[in-house]
Chains A and B, each alone.
Chain A
Amino acid sequence: MSEKILELQSVDAGYNGQRVISEANLEVYDHDFIGMIGPNGGGKTTLLKVILGVLKPFRGKLIYHQIYDADHVKRIGYLPQFSMIDRKFPISALEVVMSGLMPHHGLTRKYSREDKQRARQMMKRMGISHLEDKVVGELSGGQMQRVFLGRAIIGSPRLLILDEPNTFVDNQFEGELYEHLRELNQEMAIILVTHDIGTISSYVKTIACVNQQVFYHHSNVITQEQLSAYNCPIQLIAHGDVPHTVLKRHD
C-alpha cells in the first residue's frame, strides 16, 4: 500500500503579494515518480519552494505526512538548479556530499569518522570517488550534478526533489542519472522538474503540469490535446511532433 507523504491543499503562493500559483492541489505518495513540466514563469520553482517548506503560501495548506522522522529531521533530498551554485566557492566535492548530513546534526557538531565514511561510500556509488579532494570549480557539469545528487540522497530522504538536473550535463550523465533515479525510486518518492518531457517520459510514472495551476496527469504518456486542455503550453510540443515518446496517442 502506498502511503501519502505530503499534500498541498488549494495553495496560493508567490512573492511580494503577487500570486504565481493559485489553487494548487497535489498529493505525493511514496514510490511516486512525478515529472513536473510547465512553461517558464509558470510557477514550477515557486511550487517547489512551497513543497520544500521555504515559501509560505498566501492561502491553503502544505501538509507533511511522512517527511519528518522521529528525530524531527526533514527527510527531503533536494538538488537545486545548476545556476544557483557559486562555482568559485572554496569547497571540496567530499565536503559538499558530506554537508547533506548537516540536517541530521546539531548546530555545532563536527562530522564524525562515520560521516566521512558514508560520504566516501556515496561518492563511490555515484562513480566519483576519484574527485574527493577536487573543489567544485574544477568539476564538469556532469560531475557536479553527481556531487549534488550525492548530497541530496546521503541522508536517505523519503522524497527527492530535482530542479532541472539535466541542464549543462552531457548525454552520458543524463542517461546514468535516470538509471540512478529509477533505482532510488524503490526507496523514495521523486519529483523531477524538467523542460525536457521527451526524455523523461519513460522514467516518470505520472506528470504534473504547472502553469499557475497544477494539473495532475495519472500517466507518463500525455497527448498534445491533453496538454492544451491543461493550459500547459510546452514549447517543444507546440513546435510539432518532435518528442514522439510523449505525444504517443492515448487509447
Chain B
Amino acid sequence: MEIFQYQFFINALWAALFTSITCGIIGTYIVSNRIVFLSGGITHSSFGGIGVGYYMGVNPIWGAAVFSVLSALGIEFFSKKGQLRHDSVIGIWWSFGMAIGIIFIYLTPGYAPNLMTYLFGSILTVSQGDLLFMGLLTGVIVVFFLLFFRMILFISFDESYARVFGMPVTLIKSLLISLVALTIVVNIKVVGIILLISLLTVPQSIANQFTQVFSRMMFYSVGISLLGVVAGLLFSYNQDVPSGASIIFALIVLFGLTKAGFYLRDKLHPHR
C-alpha cells in the first residue's frame, strides 16, 4: 500500500504501538482497581493545562502534564484530608479543569489552531517529538511494572493487608496514579481528551472476556488495542473521517463482536 511510504503514516504506526503498550498496561491497572471515573477526571482536568499552555505560549502538552499529575495527586489528597466523598472531588476537579481551559483559551488573542486535536485527537499528525515522549514513557511503564509487578498486584488486591506488613502502599499508589496521569497526557494527541477513557477501558474489557488473570489481561489488552488502533487508523484513512473517533469505533465493534461470540458459545455449549 502506498500509504506506508509516508512518514506521517509510519509515525502513526509507532504512535499506535506506544499507545497500545501504555494504555494496555495502565488501563488494566485502572479497570482492576475500579478507578475509571478517577481516570476520566484526570483526563478532563488536563484540559486546564492545555488552556494555560496556550495562554502562556508554551507547548500545551506541558501544561496538560502538570495539570494531570497535580489533579491525580490532588484528588487523593483532598478526598482524604477534606473528608469529602472521593467521587464528588473527582467531579469538582473534572469540571474545574475544563473551565480553566476554556477561560484561558478565550483569553488568548487570536484563534486556537489545534484545539480540536486536543479534544478529539489526531494520530496522523503525531510528530517525532511526540513519539520521543511516548517511547520514553512506554519504557518507564514497562520497567516499573517489570520491577514492581508483584507489589502492584498485592497492593491493588488487598491494600489493608499490604499496610499491615509496612509495605510502601502510599508511595507505590502515588507513583502509579502519576503514571496514569502521564499515560493520559502522552495519549491525548492520539485520541483526544474526550475519547481517551475508552482506550483505558475497552481493550481491557475485551481482554477480560478471555482471561481473568491480571498479567494476561495486560498482554491481551496491549494486543487488542494495537489491533483496534491500526484498524481505526486505516478506516480513518480510507473514509476520510477523524482518526480518534474511528479508533474508538473499531474498538467498540471489536468489543461487540467478542461479547456476541462468547454469548453464542455459552448458548450453544451451556455446560462448558
Contact = CB atoms under 8 A, between A and B. Distances in A.
A158 B161 CA distance: 17
A80 B156 CA distance: 15
Nearest to B164: A52
B148 A85 contact: no
A90 B160 contact: no
B79 interface: no
Interface in A65-113: 73-74, 76, 78, 80, 84-86, 89-92, 95-96, 99, 102-103, 105, 107-111
B164 A107 contact: no
B187 interface: no
Interface in A35-68: 52-54
B205 to A, nearest CB: 12
Contact of B148 (A86, A103, A108, A111): A108
A90 B32 contact: yes
Contacts of A52: 164
A243 interface: no
- Range of interface residues on B (Cβ < 8 Å): 20 to 34
A92 B213 contact: yes
B166 A89 contact: no
Contacts of B181: none
A153 to B, nearest CB: 14
A99 B158 CA distance: 10
B137 interface: no
Contacts of A137: 212
B146 to A, nearest CB: 9
A100 to B, nearest CB: 9
Nearest to B147: A108
Interface in B186-227: 208, 211-214, 217
A59 to B, nearest CB: 22
A126 interface: no
B215 to A, nearest CB: 9
Contacts of B267: none
Interface in A115-158: 135, 137-138, 151
Nearest to A155: B165
Q: Which of B83, B154, B158, B167 has the most CB of A within 10 A?
A: B158
A96 B164 contact: no
A18 interface: no
A87 B158 CA distance: 11
A16 interface: yes
A90 B158 contact: no
B157 interface: yes
B150 interface: yes
B151 interface: yes
Which 4 A-B pairs rank lowest in CB-CB distance, beginning with the nearest?
Answer: A103-B165, A135-B212, A90-B214, A108-B147
Given A74-B166, A95-B153, 5 more contacts: A16-B83, A53-B164, A90-B217, A102-B165, A107-B148
21 contacts: A53-B164, A73-B165, A74-B164, A74-B166, A80-B158, A80-B160, A84-B160, A86-B34, A89-B32, A90-B211, A90-B213, A90-B214, A91-B153, A92-B213, A95-B213, A99-B153, A102-B151, A103-B167, A108-B151, A109-B150, A151-B161
